[in-house]
Chains A and B, each alone.
Chain A
Amino acid sequence: MAEDAILGYLATHEEIPDSGQFASQHGLHHNDVVNVIKSLHGFRYIDAQDIKRESWVLTDEGKKYAAEGSPEVQLFLAIPSEGSIAKDELQKKLDPSLFKIGCSQAGKNKWVDMGKQVSRKVQHVEDKVKDLLIRIQDGQTLGKEDINSLRARKLIVAQTWKGYSVSKGPNYAPKRKKVATDLTRENLQRGDWKELEFKEYNFNAKGPPAEAGHLHPLLKVKQQLKNIFLQMGFEEMPTNNFVESSFWNFDALFQPQQHPARDSHDTFFLEAPSTTRELPEDYVQLVKRVHESGGYGSRGYMYDWKREEANKNLLRTHTTAVSTRMLYTLAKQPFAPKRYFSIDRVFRNESVDRTHLAEFHQIEGLVCDRGLTLGDLIGVLNDFFSRLGMSKLRFKPAYNPYTEPSMEIFSYHEGLKKWVEIGNSGMFRPEMLLPMGFPEDVRVIAWGLSLERPTMILYGIDNIRDLFGHKVDLSLIKRNPICRLGIN
């Protein structure tokens, strides 16, 4: 009703100068008018300017007197027009506080004689206070003196009156369109979409969080690495065997039995099943001999090789154990070159800290072919790592029991402004390959690195436990970007 009145009025008038007056002219409550003004203003149908006015309103006491008369008049009327009334008697007729105020005011006005007996001094009085209060109630203005006297008696208080002056806004229409939060099927069916009005959308805030599934960042990186290997012509090795014998994990790789890595401080040995059930016996004899006394041009390690050591089961410490089995199988067939890769878990008996876990993922690649050189190894490493965004490499001589030459791979880190070790590589030793039965000119070049380290660098994570394991914050998994390794 108020909305129609306002929009209708503005259709023919420039403005509504005072919402208070507008309300009383149209017989509306000012509060209703104000609410409509606020709403129309929100949708910019109208512009509104604040108006403020000081006015007086009755206190509760003032309201009471306006209705019942002032205390002094009430007291006066309680006194008989003839004779007098005992003060005690008079007091009983009136409310105590009213009596008190009445006495004081009627005395001040010289209307009554106050003693033990009370009597009228004049025969007729006018209730001016009541009249003034009623006039204020009606919104009339009073003289300063009257205001002051009423205010002194706390019968009125000042109040700020708020209203508006209103004019047409940019979206003005004589009738408001329907406000909608969304376009619905019903709107289309009814065809009322033309009248729909939408509240402005806040594009400074993100949309509500999406309901979606998320993949683990480490495995996203793994997937990309897999793609890279496939593009480089590498075949994936079956690495779904965590339990390995010491023979395939160490001995077959020409890693001597006293090597520190074979200590229980470094390797998890198994209690059950504690030993392997079988090994290829002919091959075991060749491996034993190359350890003990060499052959194939080697001096060997010259110690007593023990079968019991080789039989011990363990959690594989590197996926190279799988590579060894693959190469052993390969050597049994007529020679054909191969490229193999794997990315899977390995286990080390290490104390867990910010950069170490007792299990992690090893990435491994190897190429088996005739006449391979260190130049090929450097070439394949450059190809592989440049796909990971590491194109500035250099190589440091290193030691590894089953590769010779061995090269540590360093990459220049633009952020850290230094060379960072990123992996290991080398050529498998003849003492490892020749007992398998490979022809002498077949060489195997290989490299390995952890999956975690490049991922941590990629995602800026400095604690490995924030990336891998049960203490990972799920929000990391929900918020990590696409892995773009290999896309450049």
Chain B
Amino acid sequence: MPTVSVARDRLFAALGRSYTQEEFEELCFNFGIELDDVTTEKAIILKERHLEDDNSSLDDEVIYKIEVPANRYDLLCLEGLAQALCIFNGHEKIPRYTVANISKESMLKMQVKKETSLIRPFVVCAVLRGIAFDEARYNSFIDLQDKLHQNICRKRTLVAIGTHDLDTLQGPFTYEALPPPEINFVPLKQVKHFRADELMEFYKSDLKLKKFLHIIEKSKVFPVIYDRNRTVLSLPPIINGAHSAITLKTKNVFIECTATDLTKAKIVLNTMVTTFSAYCERKFEVEPVEVISFDGNSSVYPDLSEYNMEVPLSYITGSIGVPLEVDEVTSLLNRMQVHAEQAGLGGNNINVSVPPTRSDILHPCDVMEDVAIAYGYNNIPKRKLSSLKPLPLNQLSDLIRYEIAMNGFAEVLTWILCSKKENFEMLNRKDDKTTAVVIGNPRSSDFEIFEVGDVVLLDEKKDVGASNRRLLAALYCGANSGFELIHSLVDKIMEVMGTPFVPVGNSAGYYIELSDEPEFLSGRQAKIIYKGRRIGIFGIVHPEVLNNFDIPDPCTFLELDIENFL
């Protein structure tokens, strides 16, 4: 996305009011541009020169760096941005751009020679009459050329712009392509004459220009524009002549765009002339130039005609999903610099006229988007498509199951049903209305098993007086108790739940404390406290319990209520 730097105060003056930064950001957001950075000329220069602030007299005017969409060439300078925002805010009407009504005979002419087709075949031109520059406008005029060169012109490969003080020149002009040694002129910012081939050599050390040399370097002929006195206007796409350089005092500007892509050349020319015709004596009027091809074909530029399309209302409202009337749509479009009116009385189609500034509009879908932007994306009611939501408890259970399996434990699936005797007496427990999942009695050598499943507890809050609770059980059985192994597993489970190990009494994470439950061996058992709540227990299973279940090997058992993690 291109970024445009504009002086904040000048922008606000053009917008007719000032904004807080937040207000301006909001305006940008709704329009689809973005305030990327706020800086000062001074800060930029100091940064470029790697200097500290020296309190020098550098300009500390606030600069807004604004990101604009890559296809909105009309927004690449302050004038275009301000105009678009003013119209968006409803403060200004869309200008109608016109081509001055002059006869073909009195029109300036550009004659195109056949050889140009070898290197850069297209040229389009226009004249801005009676322009009034001041320093800010002049700088903006130069900056816009720069931005266009960087973006749509693809670093001057597709299009290159030359602007000239018309009063220093005499038409008709010729666009030629000549062997480099035959071209000789004083280039911009130089005082002596250079032959074109020498100039290319000279610019190899020029940081700004050397990156454009490749565009014509290898060609046998270089493109060049002359006036009737063989004064060189420019050696596109490299440099203009010094002779016709524009200054603050320039009144009449001749603009030529040479190109390998005619469509883009027209867009670039239109962008230059529509933007700066605002400063002309006859506002928004541009003087045309006739471009005559070597084969005799003639075209008049600029082409400021509007592009017309008829768009059904239903297409717009049906795509956005908001019911709008024709007049609502037309006024929304007007805020986006698009002329629009109802097609025929009571019709449901809209006649849209796209001004030359809006070259980005190709299809009714672009018009539809403009309606949506002006309506406000964030005002469009949402429509939910069908979708499903899983049960969080089961999702979490599954994720924990995978983690425990990755710790080397084998999953088992045991019966929910077990006898009261198994549940209490055999566990050294008295029936005090609690219950626990029970791991069966396998008899092989060492093993590590786990299960995540539900147990049923009495629950006064439920209509049936009982509710399920999702517990995790893990068991180690082997030649020794495996107590430390289960302890590690507890740490791992808490880690994958993103819970820190904390000192006893701290409720920000989990800690482990000696417990005293009859089913475990005394001193070899611990409860797990998570956020201040006891959520589980682990320990060496009491030998009497082992005996009750005919288990000959020591075991360590873990039980953890995972619903606490939801």
Contact A231 B154 (CB under 8 A): no
Between B320, B369, B387, the greatest number of chain A beta carbons within 10 A of the residue's beta carbon is seen for B387
| Complex Cα gap A383–B389 (Å) | 10
Q: Which residue of chain A has the shortest Cβ distance to B524 in the bound complex?
A: A198
Does B513 lie at the interface of the complex (its beta carbon under 8 Å from any beta carbon of A)? yes
Does A301 lie at the interface of the complex (its beta carbon under 8 Å from any beta carbon of B)? yes
Min Cβ gap A292→B in Å is: 10
Q: Do A193 and B543 contact each other (CB < 8 Å), given the known contacts A184-B479, A185-B480, A298-B362? A: yes
For the complex, would chain B's binding face be called helix, strand, loop or mixed by DSSP majority? mixed
| Complex Cα gap A206–B494 (Å) | 11
Which residues on A sit within 8 Å (CB–CB) of B388? 231-233
| Complex Cα gap A299–B484 (Å) | 74
The interface size bin for chain B is 35 or more
Q: Which residue of chain A has the shortest Cβ distance to B372 in the bound complex?
A: A405
Total chain A interface residues with beta-carbon distance under 8 A: 75
Which residues on B sit within 8 Å (CB–CB) of A214? 406
| Complex Cα gap A9–B555 (Å) | 39
Contact A481 B526 (CB under 8 A): no
Which residues on A sit within 8 Å (CB–CB) of B263? 301-303
Contact A399 B71 (CB under 8 A): yes
| Complex Cα gap A397–B371 (Å) | 11
Q: Which of B1, B385, B400 contacts A380 (CB 8 A)?
A: B385
| Complex Cα gap A282–B264 (Å) | 28
Does A487 lie at the interface of the complex (its beta carbon under 8 Å from any beta carbon of B)? yes
Q: Which residue of chain B has the shortest Cβ distance to A394 in the bound complex?
A: B378
Q: Do A379 and B480 contact each other (CB < 8 Å), given the known contacts A188-B553, A203-B512? A: no
Contact A375 B365 (CB under 8 A): no
Does B413 lie at the interface of the complex (its beta carbon under 8 Å from any beta carbon of A)? no
Interface code B322-359, partner A: CB below 8 Å = 1, 0 otherwise?
10000000000000000000000000000000000000
The segment from A90-98, A134-142, A426-434 found at the interface with B is A426-434
Which residues on B sit within 8 Å (CB–CB) of A398? 32, 69
Min Cβ gap B444→A in Å is: 13
Q: Which of B380, B386, B390, B524 contacts A378 (CB 8 A)?
A: B380
Which residues on B sit within 8 Å (CB–CB) of A127? none
Interface code A92-123, partner B: CB below 8 Å = 1, 0 otherwise?
00000000000000000000000000000000
Interface residues of B in 21-47 (CB under 8 A from A): 29-32, 34
Does B50 lie at the interface of the complex (its beta carbon under 8 Å from any beta carbon of A)? no
Q: Which of A212, A376, A397 contacts B32 (CB 8 A)?
A: A397
Which residues on B sit within 8 Å (CB–CB) of A193? 543
Does B118 lie at the interface of the complex (its beta carbon under 8 Å from any beta carbon of A)? no
Does A367 lie at the interface of the complex (its beta carbon under 8 Å from any beta carbon of B)? yes
Q: Do A184 and B497 contact each other (CB < 8 Å), given the known contacts A301-B263, A374-B372, A378-B380? A: no
Contact B377 A395 (CB under 8 A): yes
Contact A188 B546 (CB under 8 A): yes
| Complex Cα gap A193–B71 (Å) | 83
Does B95 lie at the interface of the complex (its beta carbon under 8 Å from any beta carbon of A)? no
Interface code B396-418, partner A: CB below 8 Å = 1, 0 otherwise?
10011001001110000000000
Interface code A323-346, partner B: CB below 8 Å = 1, 0 otherwise?
000000000000000010000000
Interface code B363-380, partner A: CB below 8 Å = 1, 0 otherwise?
111101100110001101
Which residues on A sit within 8 Å (CB–CB) of B492? 210, 212
Contact B363 A429 (CB under 8 A): yes
Contact B320 A206 (CB under 8 A): no
Min Cβ gap B355→A in Å is: 14
Which residues on B sit within 8 Å (CB–CB) of A211? 407-408
| Complex Cα gap A296–B309 (Å) | 12
| Complex Cα gap A211–B476 (Å) | 14
Contact A299 B385 (CB under 8 A): no
Contact A487 B396 (CB under 8 A): yes
| Pairs A-B, 9 closest by C-beta atoms | A397-B32, A373-B321, A375-B321, A207-B487, A399-B69, A481-B498, A405-B369, A379-B382, A210-B488
List 6 additional contacts besides A203-B514, A300-B362; criterion CB under 8 Å.
A188-B543, A233-B388, A260-B154, A298-B362, A396-B34, A443-B319
For this complex, 24 residue pairs linking A to B, each with C-beta atoms less than 8 Å apart, are: A183-B554, A185-B552, A188-B552, A200-B523, A201-B514, A206-B487, A207-B487, A208-B484, A215-B406, A233-B385, A294-B363, A299-B363, A303-B261, A373-B321, A374-B372, A375-B320, A378-B380, A379-B382, A379-B383, A382-B382, A397-B369, A397-B373, A398-B69, A405-B368
Partner-A contacts on B (CB < 8 A) = 1, 29-32, 34, 69-72, 154, 158, 261, 263-264, 307, 309, 318-322, 360, 362-366, 368-369, 372-373, 377-378, 380-390, 392, 395-396, 399-400, 403, 406-408, 478-481, 483-492, 495-498, 501, 503-504, 511-514, 521, 523-524, 526, 540, 543, 546, 552-554, 566
